[in-house]
A and B are shown apart, each in its own frame.
Chain A
Amino acid sequence: AQKVTQAQTEISVVEKEDVTLDCVYETRDTTYYLFWYKQPPSGELVFLIRRNSFDEQNEISGRYSWNFQKSTSSFNFTITASQVVDSAVYFCALSEEMKTSYDKVIFGPGTSLSVIP
């Protein structure tokens, strides 16, 4: 069965610190997709990144970087030199290719990040 675990419920860091948000997933499928979304206080979830199960190459986008490791079923997200605007709830999500149901996307419980000035 699909499952996404984000063990960190809340994290607080001081501005300019680096922070890593953990995501561990479970799936029996060989083809799947992993996502990260950001939910600022305004409410809308904003797509950050998608990774498919065949692409383990890590990615960097500005201050954001993602570490995908199939061996540990993890897809961790690191923010370098955090800023107050990074304060939000971050969701990791998993989507499987072979499901026939459209209920394919499973979201983790989210990690609330507070960046203190």
Chain B
Amino acid sequence: ETGVTQTPRHLVMGMTNKKSLKCEQHLGHNAMYWYKQSAKKPLELMFVYSLEERVENNSVPSRFSPECPNSSHLFLHLHTLQPEDSALYLCASSLTAQPNRELFFGEGSRLTVL
């Protein structure tokens, strides 16, 4: 079983749909992250949770809503998305949210917004 598991792996949604991405880590880590990876752009940090508390929101549009019910689970709720939101959404975890900690990534959820 991989350390960080993301579901679904692929998602196609219309602009008016509501869907959620799920991430689960089995590493006992205390920090979890959502990253967005678009074609031709560097990885963009979206949200950081440390001990289930959101510590960073990188000016992400409100149509993306994160939820961290416990230290092992992280959700990204999607609502009224735009076609430019189509991307690979990567979840990651680390032992702590300190800058010297390596990140452990899931395989990503490939989102297509029609």
B56 touches A45 (CB 8 A): no
CB distance from B104 to the nearest CB of A (A): 7
Which of these binds chain B: A17-25, A57-65, A89-97?
Answer: A89-97
Count of chain A residues with a beta carbon within 8 Å of a chain B beta carbon: 28
> What bracket does the count of chain B residues touching chain A fall in?
20 to 34
B105 touches A97 (CB 8 A): no
B43 touches A107 (CB 8 A): yes
Cross-interface CB contact of A47 among B97, B102, B110, cutoff 8 Å: B102
Contact string against A for B residues 14-58, beta-carbon threshold 8 Å, 1 for contact and 0 otherwise:
000000000000000000000000000111010010100001101
Given A45-B90, A97-B99, A102 and B43 contact (CB-CB distance below 8 Å): no
Contact string against B for A residues 92-117, beta-carbon threshold 8 Å, 1 for contact and 0 otherwise:
00011101011111111110000000
Q: B110 — which chain A residues lie within 8 A by C-beta? A: 43
A102 touches B97 (CB 8 A): yes
Q: Which residue of B lies closest to A48 (CB)?
A: B102
B45 touches A44 (CB 8 A): no
CB distance from B93 to the nearest CB of A (A): 11
A99 touches B99 (CB 8 A): yes
Q: A4 — which chain B residues lie within 8 A by C-beta? A: 42
B100 touches A102 (CB 8 A): no
CB distance from B5 to the nearest CB of A (A): 10
B residues neighboring A (CB under 8 Å): 2, 4, 41-43, 45, 48, 50, 55-56, 58, 88, 90, 92, 97, 99-100, 102-108, 110
- Can you give 25 contacting A-B residue pairs, CB < 8 Å? A4-B42, A33-B99, A33-B100, A37-B103, A37-B105, A42-B107, A43-B106, A43-B107, A43-B110, A44-B90, A45-B90, A47-B102, A47-B104, A50-B100, A97-B99, A99-B99, A102-B55, A102-B56, A103-B45, A105-B45, A106-B42, A107-B42, A107-B43, A109-B41, A109-B42
